[in-house]
Chains A and B, each alone.
Chain A
Amino acid sequence: MGLLAALDIGRSGLLAQELGLSVTGNNIANVNTPGYTRQRVDLTSVPPALQHGVLIGRGVRVQSVEQLLDPLVDRRLRNAITDAGEDALRHDQLSGLSSLLNDLSEPSLGTAVDAFFDAADGLARNPDGLAERQTLLGAARALAGEINRRAEGLGALQRSADDQTLGLVTEANDELDRIAGLNVEIAAAEVSGQSANELRDQREVALQSLGRKVGISVVEAPNGAARVSLLNGPVLVEAGTVTNALATQTTGPGLDGGLLHEVGLAGPGGFISTPASFRTGEFAALAESRDTAIPTAATNLDTLAASLASAVNGVQQNAAARDLDGLSTVAVPFFSGTTAESLAVAITDPRRIAAARSTQPGDNTNALAFADLRTAPQAGLGGVSPAGWLASEVARVGQAASQAEDVSAASALVVDQVQSQRDSISGVNLNEELTNLLRYQYAFQAAAKVINVADNILGELVNLVR
């Protein structure tokens, strides 16, 4: 019995070390797998048995293969990822807005405004000159075109944010389906006593990806299934069922005239609006950009366009204003349109530009009034000149982007720190695994030696019997 027990002990050692080698190999293989949680074989000695009146151990057995993780750190990481996702996307959006409205590059709206007033100054120096009139018309068209281009750019930026929102909804729903499916698999595996470590890792990756889009809370049931809810909101996944998928419904028109979309939940009775539940994560950043930052910039651009058109038309249509042929221009506006998108030059014949306020040859009074608009405070712009308004708009948008960049960097740092903490607990260290590999290898060799020795002794005994 004793020698046979030694063989059993050796066999248990072989099996345990072999499993250890497998788990270590698995850790090594997954060293670069995102979200992978390192595993460790939990070995325990087999309870002793009485042998020749003495309690002797009966080898080793594998208690479990456990994941090394801290659920609290995982939760903190999910929350940090939600914040970082929101902040990074907000920075992207505001940075895009800032690039579109960048008046530091050339050509810019600033240079177009300057070129227009330069041309007005040129006309004031030679009010009878057709070349000067053509130049002013050209500069006016360029100015209107630049304002139109920006308006279109803002519309495109808003549309892009809305499209991105729709894309995120599709991705989020895929993730909800995936989480529900993994819940089923995890519960099934763990009920039958199997390890579902890899499935849990996959679910955690899906949860992090979902959490990047919108803040969620996760509660794990005793059977291992995760209950996923929106932060302070309805349940999205319960066990193997997606109880509330994300949905969209159209809202008002965007800057480009197309309809925008609100994110909510797909309830049995139709769309459920839960705006409070989507105030975190990437959905929040996109909504903020699409519904606030971009429309504000568009409104401001409309204000500039309307103010410029009104001021220039005010001069052009002055009661005393006269064109090159001495005709009144009261009914001949310079610009048409009152929004950034619709602003256009109404005059096609340069002779219709009103440079004079009398029929006296050489009169440049009205052209001087055009030129004066460059520095004149305009009520529509809050009492500042067009250049002053542009400067404050550039600073405003730049400040918002700069602040978003700082916040994004800070939240990315938090993610780095929490991720580092998670990695320090759950990440694979190859040196450590290689050490374990050696450990299991030596233990395996030793167990084999035990069997070998027992085998030799048994052989000797058998020979004795012969």
Chain B
Amino acid sequence: MTITRVSDANTFNFVQQRTAKVQVDIRELQEQIVSGRRLLRPEQDPLGAGQVVRHSASLAALAQYDDGAAFGVQVLAAQDDSLGDANSLLVRAEELASQYSSGLYTPAQRAAAREEVHGLLQALTTVGNAELGGRRLFSGLSQSGTPPFTDPDAPGYTAATAYTGSQYQFEVKVGGDSAERVRVSTPGDQVFGDALVALESLETALATNGDVAGTLSGLSTARDGLSSERASVGGRQAQLQSRITQVRGLTEREATSRAEIREADFIVVATQLAQATTALQALLAAASQIKETSLTSLLQF
């Protein structure tokens, strides 16, 4: 279709439409600069919009995996400290057991030793009842106000039945799959049960002038158990740390991918804005020339 004649309506409509179009472009570019985003509405890039939604959901999930793993590391670090304390108590108990195995000590000295061992028993009970943020480290991370381990001074106390806490093994979620979980608690009786029984046996042996040497193997076994649990805690801590590193890497990649689709490139946008502004100025200049090329102007009607 060839246009052989241009009407005034045509001329003005052309300028009006082009000006409106350029002004819309300028507004969109300004919006991009203000919001920092290139993609504001799904219709601008439908596929990209879908990807942005996916990346955003992934980022939200990754943040939770990071939080979960970080929480686990915190719990396991506290448990590691407690297990270190418990180990020190057992080392001292083994020293006492070795020392008092000889039978050279007086009853008063043995009573003093018994008293020290009882203190160790109380201390180990306190370690077993340790809390982190009001939650029992060795009782399924519950918020229970009742300590999981009974006080050794309580009437009818026996080490074998001292634990009344949770048997639940608390897990934290560190991935999208339901299998991606890491256990961060072990029931207290499994951790400290042998140690408490061994200490109680030592205390009894000292109190009754019994076979102190015979308690050494129990103490050794208990200390091995604690070491084993500590190793397990360390292993899980390392696993969680590794997961945190992995999650943060994934987060960075997801954020970068989302930014590439969604975020505005300021250099590009600023350049486009300059171009659009120039185009608008040119259009307005052209529009102002329409009158100059009119007979009304030339003939000064």
Interface residues of A (CB under 8 A from B): 31-32, 38, 94-95, 98-99, 101-105, 110-111, 113-114, 117-118, 121, 124-126, 128-129, 358, 360-364, 368-369, 371-372, 374-376, 385, 387-388, 390-392, 394-399, 401-402, 405, 416-421, 423-431, 434-435
B8 touches A394 (CB 8 A): no
The answer on a CB contact under 8 Å between A430 and B296 is: yes
Whether the pair B42, A394 counts as a contact (CB closer than 8 A) is yes
Taken together as a complex, chains A and B put the C-alpha atoms of A98 and B43 apart, in Å, by 7
> Would you call B262 an interface residue if the criterion is a C-beta within 8 Å of the partner chain's C-beta atoms?
yes
When distances are taken between beta carbons in the complex, the residues of chain B under 8 Å from A114 are 56-57, 60-61
Q: Is B193 part of the contact surface with A, judged by Cβ < 8 Å?
A: no
Report the count of interface residues on B (CB-CB < 8 A). 64
Instruction: Please list the 5 inter-chain residue pairs (A to B) with the smallest Cβ-Cβ separation, ordered nearest first.
Output: A427-B7, A398-B42, A362-B140, A387-B57, A361-B142
CB pair A363–B173 under 8 Å, yes or no, is no
Contact A392 B43 (CB under 8 A): no
> Would you mind naming 19 contact pairs between A and B with Cβ atoms under 8 Å apart?
A31-B8, A31-B9, A98-B43, A124-B172, A126-B143, A128-B142, A361-B166, A362-B135, A362-B144, A363-B166, A369-B178, A391-B50, A394-B46, A399-B43, A416-B17, A427-B10, A429-B7, A434-B295, A434-B301
Which of B63-71, B203-211, B240-248 forms part of the interface with chain A? B63-71
Contact of A374 among B40, B49, B61, B144 (CB under 8 A): B61
Contact B60 A117 (CB under 8 A): yes
Contact with A along B148-187 (1 / 0, CB 8 A): 0000000000000000011110111100111001000100
Interchain CA distance A430-B39 in the complex, whole Å? 45
Residues from chain A with a CB closer than 8 A to the CB of B39 are 104
Q: Does B104 contact A (CB under 8 A)?
A: no
> What residue in chain B is nearest A128 (Cβ atoms)?
B143
Q: Does B181 lie within 8 Å of A391, measured CB to CB?
A: no
The contact string, 1 if C-beta is below 8 Å from chain A, for chain B 27-50, is 000000000010111111111011
Q: Does B54 contact A388, Cβ atoms closer than 8 Å?
A: yes
B71 touches A125 (CB 8 A): yes
The minimal Cβ–Cβ distance linking A188 to chain B, given in whole angstroms, is 30
Could you tell me the dominant secondary structure of chain A's interface residues? helix
Find the B residue at minimum CB distance from A371. B173
| A104 and B42 contact, CB distance less than 8 A | yes
Query: How far, in whole Å, are A390 and B60 apart by their CA atoms in the complex?
Result: 14
A360 x B67 contact (CB < 8 A):
no
Q: Which residues of B58-103 are within 8 A (CB) of A?
A: 58, 60-61, 63-64, 67-68, 71
Q: A421 CA to B185 CA in the complex, in Å?
A: 81
Hey, which chain B residues are within 8 Å of A421, CB to CB?
Answer: 1, 3
Closest approach, in angstroms, between the C-beta of A343 and any C-beta of chain B? 20
Closest to B53 in A: A391
A117: chain B residues at CB < 8 Å are: 60-61, 64
Interface of B is mostly: mixed
| A31 neighbours in B (Cβ, 8 Å) | 8-9
Q: Are A103 and B61 in contact (CB under 8 A)?
A: no
A12: min CB distance to chain B, Å:
28
Contact surface of B with A, Cβ cutoff 8 Å: 1, 3-10, 13, 17, 37, 39-47, 49-54, 56-58, 60-61, 63-64, 67-68, 71, 135-136, 139-144, 165-168, 170-173, 176-178, 181, 185, 262, 294-296, 299, 301
Whether A425 touches B5, Cβ cut-off 8 Å, given contacts A103-B49, A104-B49, is yes
**Would A430 and B68 be within 8 Å (CB), given that A98-B42, A360-B140, A402-B43 are in contact?**
no
Shortest B175–chain A CB gap in Å is 9
Q: How far is the CA of A150 from the CA of B276 in the complex (A)?
A: 36
A430-B10 in contact (CB<8A):
no
Output the least CB separation between B95 and chain A (Å): 35
CB distance from B9 to the nearest CB of A (A): 5
Least CB distance from A51 to B in Å reads: 39
The CA of A302 and the CA of B166, in the complex, are separated in Å by 42
Residues in A neighbouring B299, C-beta threshold 8 A: 434
Contact A95 B43 (CB under 8 A): yes
Q: Which residues of A contact B168 (CB under 8 A)?
A: 358, 360-363
- Determine the distance from Cα of A360 to Cα of B139 in the docked complex, in whole angstroms: 9
Q: Residue on A with the closest CB to B170?
A: A362
Contact A398 B49 (CB under 8 A): yes
Are A371 and B294 neighbours in the complex by a CB distance under 8 Å? no
Chain A residues with Cβ below 8 Å from B63 are: 118
Question: How many angstroms from the CA of A420 to the CA of B6 in the assembled complex?
Answer: 8
- Cβ–Cβ contact A395 & B42, under 8 A: yes
Task: Report the minimum CB–CB distance from B4 to chain A (whole Å).
Answer: 6
Given A361-B144, A402-B44, verify A372-B173 contact (CB < 8 Å): yes
> Nearest Cβ distance between residue A92 and chain B, in whole angstroms?
12
User: Of A99, A129, A390, which one neighbours B53 at CB under 8 angstroms?
Assistant: A390
Residue of A nearest to B144 (CB): A361
Residues of chain A contacted by B296 (CB below 8 angstroms):
430, 434
Other A-B contacts than A361-B142, A362-B143, A398-B43, 15 sampled, CB-CB below 8 A, are A101-B42, A104-B42, A125-B71, A362-B139, A362-B141, A374-B61, A375-B61, A395-B49, A396-B46, A398-B49, A402-B45, A418-B1, A423-B6, A424-B4, A431-B295
